[in-house]
Amino acid sequence: MNGTILQVAIKGVYLLEKKPPPPVPLVLLEDNTKRIMPIYIGLPEAISINSALNHEIPPRPMTHDLFISLLERLGSKIDSILIDELNEGVYYARMSVSMDGKHFELDARPSDSIAIALRCGAPINVRESVLSDAVIHKEELENILSIDNYF
């Protein structure tokens, strides 16, 4: 798949208050022109991403921490992640991995990819066409709360 690739930053992890409850977790990505793209995720992934953003270290390794430890032990590293497809409301991502001078990609959920990239300092990229299709306006963010305010 061709097209421009943009590096994005994580704006934060939030909960969208819905009626009826429960709230829906989402992570907001932002490009350098301040366009915002939401990705709706599960609560465990939201907590994992938020803890990585806050540089929290759990007393025991959580799943994403374990994945990073395994990569390090195998002499591998995550070069970057790419959210490269949006199909019927579902995002698709790939992790670019280096090991022993070889490069390969792994199919992964965007939420897991983001949680892992944050832990190892890998860039988070989005295909321009995906960002353009998913961008939201600030008015659409009226009913969100920081996940930090929820727990």
pLDDT at residue 138 in the model: 81
Given this model, what pLDDT does residue 148 score? 85
For residues 8 and 76, give the distance between their C-alpha atoms in angstroms, rounded to a whole number: 23
Query: pLDDT averaged over consecutive 10-residue blocks of the chain (151 residues)?
Result: 88 88 92 96 95 92 93 95 95 96 96 97 97 90 83 63
Residues 6+ apart with CB under 8 A from 85: 1, 91, 92, 127, 130
Quote the Cα angle for 107-71-117, to 5°: 60
pLDDT of 2: 65
Which pLDDT value is given to residue 1? 55
Say what the pTM is: 0.92
CATH number of 5-150: 3.10.690.10
